[in-house]
Amino acid sequence: MKHPFILDLMFISLLVSPLTALHAGWDLSKAETRVDSDTKNSVVAGTIANFKRYDPGLEAFFERAYGYTG
Round to whole Å and give the CA distance between 24 and 27. 9
Please state the separation of Cα 59 from the chain's center in Å: 24
User: Does residue 51 contact residue 58 with C-beta atoms inside 8 Å?
Assistant: yes
Nearest to 65 by CA among 40, 39, 41, 52: 52
Band of residue 13 on the pLDDT scale cut at 50, 70, 90: confident
Q: Is the pTM of this model over 0.75?
A: no
What integer pLDDT is reported at residue 8 of this predicted model? Answer: 83
User: Does residue 59 contact residue 52 with C-beta atoms inside 8 Å?
Assistant: yes
Tens digits of residue pLDDT in 23-49 = 666 666 666 666 667 777 788 888 888
Phi and psi of 8, rounded to 5°? Answer: -65, -45
